[in-house]
């Protein structure tokens, strides 16, 4: 976050479950943000039952934090409004209180056919916006209906993050048509039993979820240390079931273009 310059701007942190590898970094982050003179509220969301541990973690060894930290437990099914997007909380299967998060943009207005609007004699200006937003307007004695020049509403983008989980129907539901699914991939297929026992997923299982959900891309994450030198093994395994799979690494950034604006259909 600091490398990308987004550390100071972070507004909310979504925590999937209370295993140490998923929240311990918050302790250092809160200190760093305090030292940097942060003043804005930091929102911390965690699964049911998490607020006590989160509160202790945030205040560990600190007399006082100089900026407000708001800790809040979220419930599966809840939708959290955020500026420009919404976070949907969904249940996952990790043998403990755990949730995943789907980040969704709102639906966008349909495509506006500028050429056609001009050809119909509409003068450039505020009328363009009114028609685009669905209003019928009168121009030179003729009514122009929005459906003549505006396409159907276009879906916003969505990114779905599972945290640690077994493959689950609730994840398939949450990831329907997602632009990006970020899924637990702790093991290879050869360790399928271990994956079951520890409530994690194999590469093939993650790929199966992405495929069933009709997601557009899959990023595999949370690899067991035993694969740290051979991520391509997991990538290959996943691609057999879901070709648009990649293994995520620290600092990776992905562009998610709107499909109707130069993106390619899968």
**Looking at 21, 229, 250, 255, which residue is catalytic?**
21
Which of 4, 6, 20, 21: binder of Zn ion (CB under 5 A)? 21
Shortest Cβ distance from residue 30 to Zn ion (Å)? 20
Quick check: 184 binds Zn ion (CB under 5 A)? no
Nearer to Zn ion by Cβ, of 163 and 204: the residue is: 163
Distances (CA, A) of 152 to 107, 144, 205, 260: 10, 16, 35, 12
Catalytic annotation present for 184: no
Shortest Cβ distance from residue 19 to Zn ion (Å)? 4
Place of tokens 């976050």: 1
Quick check: 194 binds Zn ion (CB under 5 A)? no
Residues in the chain: 266
Nearest Cα to Cα of residue 13 among 222, 77, 28:
28
The answer to whether 245 and 220 are in contact (CB under 8 A) is yes
Which of 12, 19, 32, 263: binder of Zn ion (CB under 5 A)? 19
Place of tokens 């992905």: 254
Number of shown-chain residues binding Zn ion (CB under 5 A): 3
Quick check: 225 binds Zn ion (CB under 5 A)? no
Which distant-in-sequence residues (6+ apart) come within 8 Å of 181 by Cβ? 160, 162, 171, 175, 209, 210, 213, 215, 217, 218, 219
Please calculate the CA angle 159-12-6 and round it to the nearest 5 degrees.
80
Nearer to Zn ion by Cβ, of 164 and 179: the residue is: 164
Quick check: 164 binds Zn ion (CB under 5 A)? yes
Q: Per-residue b/e over 26-46, b at no fewer than 16 CB within 10 Å?
A: bbebbeebbeeebeeebbbbb
In the range 49-88, which residues lie near Zn ion by CB under 5 A?
none
Shortest Cβ distance from residue 21 to Zn ion (Å)? 4
Nearer to Zn ion by Cβ, of 104 and 199: the residue is: 199
Give the range of 13-21, 57-65, 115-123, 238-246 binding Zn ion by CB under 5 A: 13-21
Give the range of 7-15, 50-58, 108-116, 163-171 binding Zn ion by CB under 5 A: 163-171
Site of interaction with Zn ion (CB under 5 A): 19, 21, 164
Active site residues: 21
């Amino acid at each position: 976050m600091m490398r990308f310059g987004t550390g100071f701007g972070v507004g909310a942190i979504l925590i999937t479950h209370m295993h140490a590898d998923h929240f311990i970094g918050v302790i250092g982050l809160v200190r760093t943000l305090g030292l940097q003179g942060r003043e804005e509220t930091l929102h911390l969301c965690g699964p049911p039952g998490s607020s006590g541990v989160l509160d202790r973690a945030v205040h560990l060894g600190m007399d006082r934090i100089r900026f407000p930290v708001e800790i809040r437990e979220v419930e599966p099914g809840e939708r959290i409004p955020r500026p420009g997007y919404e976070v949907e909380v969904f249940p996952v299967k990790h043998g403990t209180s755990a949730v995943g998060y789907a980040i969704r943009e709102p639906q966008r207005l349909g495509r506006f056919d500028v050429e056609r609007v001009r050809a119909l004699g509409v003068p450039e200006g505020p009328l363009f916006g009114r028609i685009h937003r669905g209003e019928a307007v009168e121009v030179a004695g003729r009514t122009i209906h929005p459906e003549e020049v505006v396409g159907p509403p276009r879906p916003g983008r969505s990114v779905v993050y599972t945290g640690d989980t077994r493959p689950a129907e609730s994840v398939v539901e949450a990831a329907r048509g997602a632009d990006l699914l970020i899924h637990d991939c702790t093991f290879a297929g050869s360790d399928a039993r271990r994956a079951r026992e520890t409530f994690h997923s194999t590469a093939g299982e993650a790929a199966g979820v992405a495929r069933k959900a009709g997601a557009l891309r899959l990023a595999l994450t949370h690899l067991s240390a035993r694969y740290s030198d051979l991520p391509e093994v997991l990538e290959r395994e996943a691609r057999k079931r879901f070709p648009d799979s990649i293994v995520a690494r620290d600092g990776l950034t992905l562009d998610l273009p709107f499909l109707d604006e130069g993106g390619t259909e899968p």
